[in-house]
């Protein structure tokens, strides 16, 4: 790619609100609790929107409605909480951040183990974005296990 092509790509990526270099997956792990084993969550962010991810986060209004949500943290323009109800059968999850038109979507998939009791487990992740979320919508897309 020539100088013009590289410059045009850099302009297009920065105008889209994403990093110039695709990020590497970030893995965070919920610690074991009682009879529940550790629970790893991998954040995949091909466009480089997210700077960091952490387990937990503040409770935000309606965070577990309809199975989950992604909600900006009031007063922190670059932070959002992803909330969902997991299960005792879950062995790992993958959250993929992508831009769909003007909406930042966190597509969540969960891998399940075998032979366990049904138990709803509230889970939260805090995402720290590279840039302010601004007027963009946020959404959670849960794939059926």
Q: How far is CA 32 from the centre of its chain?
A: 21
Do 141 and 105 meet the contact criterion of CB atoms below 8 Å apart?
yes
pLDDT attached to residue 24: 84
State pLDDT tens for residues 88-107: 888 899 999 999 999 999 99
Q: How far is CA 144 from the centre of its chain?
A: 17
pLDDT attached to residue 117: 67
pLDDT attached to residue 115: 65
Is pLDDT above 70 for 120?
Answer: yes
Whether this model's pTM surpasses 0.85: no
Instruction: Decide the pairing of beta strands 120-129 and 68-72.
Output: unpaired
């Amino acid at each position: 790619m020539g100088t013009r092509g590289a410059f045009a790509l850099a302009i297009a990526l920065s105008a889209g609100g994403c990093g110039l270099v695709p990020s590497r997956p970030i893995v965070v792990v919920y610690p074991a609790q009682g009879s529940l084993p550790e629970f790893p969550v991998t954040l995949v962010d091909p466009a480089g929107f997210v700077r960091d991810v952490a387990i937990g986060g503040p409770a935000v209004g309606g965070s577990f409605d309809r199975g989950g949500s992604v909600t900006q943290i009031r007063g922190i323009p670059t932070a959002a909480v992803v909330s969902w109800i997991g299960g005792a059968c879950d062995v790992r999850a993958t959250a993929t951040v992508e831009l769909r038109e003007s909406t930042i979507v966190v597509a969540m998939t969960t891998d399940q183990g075998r032979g366990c009791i049904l138990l709803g487990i509230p889970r939260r992740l805090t995402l720290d974005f590279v840039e302010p979320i601004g007027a963009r919508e946020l959404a959670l897309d849960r794939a059926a296990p």
